[in-house]
Amino acid sequence: MKLIKRLALVMVTLLLAAIVVPAVTAHADTTTTSSSDTTDESSSSQAVQTKALSSAYVVYGAGVAQSDRSSIGSALGISDNYKTLTSTASDYNQYIGNGTTSDAAMISSVSIAPADPGTGVKVNIVKYDGNSNITKVTAQQYAMVATMAGVNDVIITVTANKAVSGEAALAGVYKALATDGIQLSSENTSAANSVLEATQPAIDANSDDSKYPGKLMAAVGSVSKELAQQRQDDNDYATKAEVQEMLAKALKKYGIDDSTPSSSQTTIVNALIQVQKAPVSSSKTYISNVTNVTKSVKNSVGSAMAKLSDFANSSDGKALMAKYGNLFQRTWAKIVAFVEGLFN
């Protein structure tokens, strides 16, 4: 993905230059060996993200050595306009809040860039020095969990310079949003993380099926939508038995009912109940957001959800748009098919 972005950026820049210039001349990590959208929590806390991210950010884990940041930034594909932050154990405990951790355990690093309205949350997990170092959490999990936390219309890229499980990455996303003036409810982020934890064993058990993470997160997302709709329409919460029935139907719909362990189904139900009771599920915007992401993840396979076409909506693409206007749009449209053809 980084190579695609860079190649596309170079091609657009060169093409534009040829046109405009005279011819003369982006628990913490476990290390491994292989209605209203404002909550009552505070005046600034939000049930869902209601304004666009104003800047692109790169957030390095506190456990990353200063000397490694440059190579990690390169892996994430960031440019000079990305603002730099550090995600610490304190941030993890603030946003995730399910135990203690240390700065040294914060290894995952992320970039987060604004995308056009309606994009939802799209996630790419990229290799570092040729190695896939995020060994547990999938792109589809990150996307759905971030949406349940209230995140919307961003492209997130995740990497690490050593093999880690990847749970800590989302703390960096939430910190970037808070720095940008978008303070999400801690009830949301904690409930969303419970979904991450609940879905992980089932995904691990189906590691030989590349389509499973997308199908599972789509099933979970569709149930969360139903629960939010019920809360808003009936001013009531679903019972545990009702949530179990909803999940069973959703898993069957996506053809993964037999491959999802009953123990995982139980923990997923409990996690969904937490999300239903969190502020995010009181927001009509969330219903739209989770519907969009469910559509994105259901057929998503592998570590790259954002495609080359999404680059036009990223901060780098928008920088070119601001500089060259409609000329960029016309030039971009002509090269998207060509560049994507090189990598498909």
Query: What confidence tens digit (pLDDT) does each residue in 8-65 have?
Result: 544 544 444 433 333 333 356 765 544 445 544 444 566 776 578 999 999 999 999 9
* 3-state SS assignment for residue 136: coil
Per-residue model confidence (pLDDT) at position 103 = 94
77 contacts: CB under 8 Å, gap ≥ 6: 1, 2, 5, 6, 26, 111, 126, 157
Per-residue model confidence (pLDDT) at position 327 = 46
Task: Give pLDDT < 70 ranges for the chain.
Answer: 1-28, 30-46, 49-50, 98-99, 306-344
| Cβ-contact 173, 151 below 8 angstroms | yes
Distance in angstroms (rounded) separating the CA atoms of residues 64 and 154: 24
| Cβ-contact 126, 1 below 8 angstroms | yes
Tens-place pLDDT, residues 137-147: 999 999 999 99
Burial (CB count <10 Å: 0-12, 13-18, 19+), residue 67: exposed
| Cβ-contact 144, 195 below 8 angstroms | yes
What would the 3-class secondary structure string for 68-82 be?
HHHHHHHHHCCCCCC
Per-residue model confidence (pLDDT) at position 90 = 93
Burial (CB count <10 Å: 0-12, 13-18, 19+), residue 237: middle
Per-residue model confidence (pLDDT) at position 48 = 72
Burial (CB count <10 Å: 0-12, 13-18, 19+), residue 268: buried
Buried b (16+ CB within 10 A) or exposed e, 208-222: eeebbbbbbbbbbbb
Per-residue model confidence (pLDDT) at position 160 = 97
